[in-house]
Amino acid sequence: MEYRSGSVGRVFSVRFDHGDDFHGELLDLIKKENIRNAWFHCIGGLLEADVVIGPKQPTMPPEPIWEEVRGARELLGTGSILWDEHDEPKIHLHTSLGDHGSAMTVCTRKGTKVYLIVEVYIVEITGVAATRPWFAKGEFNRVSFST
């Protein structure tokens, strides 16, 4: 385990509207505001999303199982924002998606289209030198701390 201690910086309250590309527009905002390290929560609905529902087996590296979610789903999620070694922002977002009383918890990756509204609250973290570079052993981007 590794950790660092920081402070709260800026706080953003964001609304995404029906039909918006949630993932794409969130990345645009992160770049525009240069949000380098943050935690965020989201609530609302998605109409479409390409998600990972888990690994095929608990191995390292994991082989993800992809699923296309289509149709209106309630959304409750939390995620983090860090930048990789190529100076590109990386979002790690886990959501619970509900459909008429059934729910699935997923890693929401791409192809996200908002249903009605998604509200997001982003809390910037300052004083922690962290990035999310490629972790070759696991074949994913992993949080890394600098001194």
Give the start-to-end residue ranges of the domains of the chain. 8-145
How does the average pLDDT of the chain come out, rounded?
Answer: 97
**pLDDT tens digits for 94-141?**
999 999 999 999 999 999 999 999 999 999 999 999 999 999 999 999
Strand bridging mode 102-126 / 38-55 = antiparallel
Q: Calculate mean pLDDT across residues 21-36.
A: 98
Closest CA to 86 of 32, 139, 132, 140: 132
Contact by Cβ (8 Å): 37, 14: no
Q: Calculate mean pLDDT across residues 18-26.
A: 98
User: Mapped to the 3 state alphabet, what secondary structure does 54-80 carry?
Assistant: EECCCCCCCCEEEEEEEEEEEEEEEEE
Of 31-40, 55-64, 138-147, give the lowest mean pLDDT range: 138-147
Closest CA to 93 of 129, 127, 46: 46
Yes or no: is domain 8-145 CATH 3.30.300.100? no
Q: Calculate mean pLDDT across residues 19-47.
A: 98
Compute the distance between CA of residue 81 and CA of residue 105 in angstroms, rounded to an integer: 19
Q: Is the pLDDT of residue 147 over 80?
A: no
User: Residue 3's beta-bridge partner residues?
Assistant: none
Q: Is the pLDDT of residue 93 over 90?
A: yes
Q: Amino acid identity of 122?
A: I
Q: Which tokens belong to 11?
A: 């706080």
Compute the distance between CA of residue 112 and CA of residue 54 in angstroms, rounded to an integer: 18
- SS3 call for 136: coil
The percentage of residues in the chain with a pLDDT greater than 70, rounded to a whole number, is 99
Q: 45 in the Ramachandran plot: left (φ > 0), alpha (ψ -120 to 50) or beta?
A: beta
- Residue 146: per-residue pLDDT: 87
